[in-house]
């Protein structure tokens, strides 16, 4: 158990809809990262938050947004969903030292 909790584990929705993925980092970790993993694109870094503020941005679409709350949990919002957004979405957290602990992921299926 990495100590990073992601909910829900699975999500099935339709095109055009909006979903929210939730992540609780390991106790004491201030950084939260979001990744998308699909068969054709591999593991793609989306965005990083550190203590409530956006720290780094990767290949995140404009339809996607994230935030980190004062209690350090984070949410990834995906809107106007398309079939191609179907993927595994991972959250990771880290303390100083750079290495990240990953959650088990949320599998999103857009039908």
Binding site for another protein (CB under 8 A): 2, 4, 33, 42-43, 45, 48, 50, 55-56, 90, 92, 97-105
Separation of alpha carbons 50 and 1, rounded Å: 22
Separation of alpha carbons 75 and 60, rounded Å: 14
Query: Whose Cβ is closer to another protein: residue 15's or residue 101's?
Result: 101
Query: Whose Cβ is closer to another protein: residue 74's or residue 100's?
Result: 100
At closest approach, how far in Å is the CB of 16 from another protein? 28
Separation of alpha carbons 2 and 47, rounded Å: 20
At closest approach, how far in Å is the CB of 40 from another protein? 11
At closest approach, how far in Å is the CB of 104 from another protein? 5
Query: Whose Cβ is closer to another protein: residue 33's or residue 64's?
Result: 33
Query: Whose Cβ is closer to another protein: residue 79's or residue 102's?
Result: 102
Query: Phi-psi category of 103—alpha, beta or left, where left has phi over 0 and alpha has psi -120 to 50?
Result: beta
At closest approach, how far in Å is the CB of 80 from another protein? 27
Tokens (6 digits) for 14: 């339709």
Say which residues have a Cβ less than 8 Å from residue 97's Cβ, sequence separation at least 6.
none
């Amino acid at each position: 158990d990495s100590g990073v909790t992601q909910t829900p584990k699975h999500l099935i929705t339709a095109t055009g809809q909006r979903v929210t993925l939730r992540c609780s980092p390991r106790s004491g970790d201030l950084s939260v990262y979001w990744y998308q993993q699909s068969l054709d694109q591999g593991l793609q870094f989306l965005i990083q938050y550190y203590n409530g503020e956006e720290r780094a941005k990767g290949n995140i679409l404009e339809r996607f947004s994230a935030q980190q709350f004062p209690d350090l949990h984070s949410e990834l919002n995906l809107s106007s969903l398309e079939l191609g957004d179907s993927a595994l979405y991972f959250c990771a957290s880290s303390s100083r030292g750079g290495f990240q602990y990953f959650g088990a992921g949320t599998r999103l299926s857009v039908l």
